[in-house]
Every structure is written in structure tokens, then in C-alpha cells.
Amino acid sequence: MATEKYAFERYLNVRQAYGASFSPDGSLITFLTDITGVAEVWSAPVNRQAAGPFWPNQLTFRGERIASATFSPKANQLLVTGDVGGNERTQLFLLSADGASFTSLTDQPETIFNFGGW
């Protein structure tokens, strides 16, 4: 049995999706993925009758790592945490479900903010 060998670069290009959150009405799912090179928030409709696969919509374009994104239980908005330059000092943001509005809730770069829940 022959063993295939792959270049190390191939393993550096492995991407992932994680941190899923459903909209309050269950019509959307958001998740984080690093397919652009850094974790950003993406969304996709939840349609069980869909005929084929879909491509999700990118909601954030920070170019800085998003650490988490959680839907509000009552509104079509997400609480997002993210840092700057990989410093792990996460700040809080409010993101509309369509990605049109991204508002900073904190601006204290020396402080780490962790989201506890809605």
C-alpha cells in the first residue's frame, strides 16, 4: 500500500467552521470561519427544502479575528467579540443579522471583555 505525501503548506491551509448560533426564529444560522484567513462571521439560511447546496454570506469584514458571535434570543442581532492584532483583548460589538450594522460597544484596548450571555 503506497502512502501519499503532501506538502506541509497543504496542512497550513486547512480551514474550519465553528461557533454556530441560530436566529431567534430559526431562519438563519451564523458561524465563524477562517476561510478568508482570519475568523469572520458568516450566515446561511436554514431551509430544509433547499434543492442543493448554498454558499454562506460573509457578515463581518474586520480583517481582525472574531472570537465569538451569539444571536440575541429576541432580536435579529448578534453580540460579537473580537480582538485587534491578535492581542486577545476582546472588545464587544453589536452586529445586525444582515451585516449592515456593526457597532462598537466597548473601546478599552487594555481591557479584556468576555460575553457572558444574553
pLDDT tens, position by position, 48-104: 777 777 789 999 999 999 999 999 999 999 999 999 989 999 999 999 999 999 999
Question: How far is Cα 58 from Cα 18, in angstroms, rounded to an integer?
Answer: 14
Question: How far is Cα 75 from Cα 32, in angstroms, rounded to an integer?
Answer: 19
User: What is the pLDDT at residue 106?
Assistant: 97
Is residue 86 exposed (0-12), middle (13-18) or buried (19+ Cβ within 10 Å)?
exposed
Q: Examine residue 67 and state whether it is found in any structural domain, yes or no.
A: yes
Q: Examine residue 5 and state whether it is found in any structural domain, yes or no.
A: no
Q: Taking the model in full, what pTM does it have? A: 0.84
User: What is the pLDDT at residue 1?
Assistant: 58
User: What is the pLDDT at residue 4?
Assistant: 74
| Boundaries of domain holding 80 | 16-104
Q: Examine residue 65 and state whether it is found in any structural domain, yes or no.
A: yes
Question: 47 pLDDT exceeds 90?
Answer: no
114 in helix, strand or coil?
coil
Q: Examine residue 99 and state whether it is found in any structural domain, yes or no.
A: yes
The amino acid at 46: V
Side by side, which strands form the sheet with 91-96?
66-71, 77-82, 91-96, 102-104
User: What is the pLDDT at residue 52?
Assistant: 72
Average pLDDT over residues 20-47: 94
How many domains does the chain contain in total? 1
Q: Examine residue 113 and state whether it is found in any structural domain, yes or no.
A: no
Q: Examine residue 90 and state whether it is found in any structural domain, yes or no.
A: yes
Bridge-partner residues for 89, per DSSP?
A: none
Q: Examine residue 36 and state whether it is found in any structural domain, yes or no.
A: yes
Q: Examine residue 25 and state whether it is found in any structural domain, yes or no.
A: yes
